[in-house]
Structure 1
Amino acid sequence: MSRLEPLTMPVPQSASPATPAARFHNVEIILPRQESQAAAQMICEVFRAANDLFPGAPYRTHVRDLATQMRSAPDGWKPRTAIFLGGISTRWTLNSGEKASLQRICRQTPRCLFAGSAIFLLPETGLNTRYETAVHANFAAAAKEEDLPCAPAGTLTTVSDRISTAISSFAALRLLTTYLREDRGAFIADAVCDYLGLALGPTADHSRVSLQLRQAAGGDALIVKILELMQRNIEEPLLIRDIASQAGVSPRKLERRFQEKTRTSPLAAYRKLRIEKARQLLLHTSLPLTEIVAATGFGSRSNLTEWFKREYKTSPQAFRKQYYAEREPQRSLA
């Protein structure tokens, strides 16, 4: 088989290359033989979003297979979460070498998730405990035949001590939400889900800057209300006194609360939201700079360029050019 190279998420810019390994939360995503790394992309994206929004104590993921790379894991290797990601059409089977790797991982990892066909690995883990298992309908008959303790039909996920199960990789996303709550708290878990569109209700239009300010403010109701007003008025920015009036407070109280809760001024926060919007338009649209200026309320190209350079150390035009230049080799390989 072709060797699976580890798919490793980049460390956020705020984290130093010398950051001790203990500061990272290592997540191992284990795939069956011959499975494409693309099968793990959705799971990686959840942890990547958590890092992107809230860089402190980042997650570091690797995608591996049992057959090859588990035997050469580095000294001191001890993941905190292992996710065994099986499909829903083909059963996951093991050879003797893979069984030894499986048992090693489960001995060393505080939290294990088995999704899809990975439930058939449970009897081979060596944990000597029968866990209630969420079983996809495709595997229900086989699971009963092998005397797996199946959860009631319709159960999407189960959690029993350190072992969790899910009927598929999609259902596993629900468990990742639970993991984020355990690791980082409810605010961050909900923010990541909202950012990715995993929330169960209508999602709000929160940007990364907005979410970081909300976290810094501890969810302060006034700050949240102000940020929502700012995000609704990016194209034609309001005066701070008008924002204060709509929020039902004095400009002085607004300034004081912002400084106290977020360590920045409302004007600076508003400007960062607009610069972030400009960045999104530069990367994800082909709009000319004049239209981006109008869409972010900066009034002139020179004004946008000045503030953009302060934030990103380069001009908007150079930023866009570099972004697409870095991705050109990937396109040519497609």
Structure 2
Amino acid sequence: MHTVAVLALDKVIPFDLSTPIEVFAQTRLPDGRAAYRVRICAATPTVDAGTFVLQSQWGLNTLAEADTIVLPGCAEPGAPVPEEVLAALRRAAADGTRIASICSGAFILAATGLLDGHRATTHWRITDALAERYPSIEVNPEVLYVDNGQFLTSAGASAGLDLCLHMIRRDYGSAVAADAARLAVVPLEREGGQAQFIVHDRPPTPRGSTLEPVLQWMQENAATDLDLEDIAAHSGMSTRTLNRRFREQTGTTPLQWLLRARVRQAQHLLETSDHPVDRIAGQVGFHSPTAFRDRFKRIIGTTPNAYRAAFQTSRSTEAH
């Protein structure tokens, strides 16, 4: 039987911890037998999980017996990882053990050096921190999970469930994985990537940015027919100066920023209204529904209809 060891460190996030425990423990083979043996391991007799204290009967030595090790996220991603934990993970990796992380658990895996030269992801709020701390890792913030073969990483919260189902499919095939997905009441495959779950607020600007007034004006007038000259005239700058300031303070151009603002407004309308997608395209400032769909998918990672199906608060067949 395939053994899954879930490693619980201090400040472990309970949701991340419970996901692999429940998903793997409930998975059944076609003949009804359990597909996995699950062990919760710890480096210390008790683990501080924030709202409760966890006691585990399995220690780090159990990692050597596992076929898969899962690293749940911790509330303090940058906290030092005990050296004995890192050493145990490196030994397991050298023996060919599959190691997967959920959410900020990517920081634990990264600390071992095993992700160096590989692609990885984590919760979108901390992808920049992961990339800055571990520059030898290619961090991709736009996906739900990354499978490098032996080492796998996932984004935040429910993306850990997607990753567990992916591993079940790798181990036992789509039929077993589909049954596990039905038991968890989730789709086996989700359309799009992590981008669709990111709150696309304005690109960050330094506190006291000189662009703040024009950014607010652009946000309020995003649905109107603005061009670069209109924005420059409102800001009192030449187009050349405006472009330079935008690059310096937002990392993008005025028109690219405007397109993202329009897509943010479209997200809100898709979630809260039953307006047809073509109508929403015009409401947020796109002249062409085709151009809107292309831009929406490029920024959000999925189609407007798929986004609406996932996030609309009141469903309507008119939207489709």
TM-score of the superposition, structure 1-length normalised?
0.46
> Which protein is richer in helix relative to its size?
1
Which structure ranks higher in relative contact order (CA pairs < 8 Å, sequence separation ≥ 6)?
A: 2
TM-score of the superposition, structure 2-length normalised?
0.48
